[in-house]
Amino acid sequence: MFVIELERKAWKLDKPPKKSGFLVGFLNFSRFLFALSILYEQY
C-alpha cells in the first residue's frame, strides 16, 4: 500500500501540457500496473 501512496503523490505532482496528456496518461497507467505487480509478488 505504501508504494501506491507514493505513486498517487507522484501523479498529483505531474502537470503535463495538454498535447502530451495521452502519453503521460499511458506512462502513469504502466506505472500503476507495475506497482500492482509488485504488490501481487509480495502476497
pLDDT in tens, 19-40: 566 777 788 888 889 988 988 8
Residue 25 confidence (pLDDT): 79
Q: Looking at residue 8, what is its pLDDT?
A: 65
- Amino acid at the residue 19: K
Domain that holds residue 15: 2-42
Number of domains present in the structure of the chain: 1
Asked whether the predicted pLDDT for residue 4 surpasses 80, the reply is: no
* Per-residue pLDDT band at 42 (split at 50, 70, 90): confident
1-17 residues labelled b (16+ CB within 10 A) or e (exposed) = eeeeeebeeeeeeeeee
**What pLDDT sits at residue 14?**
56
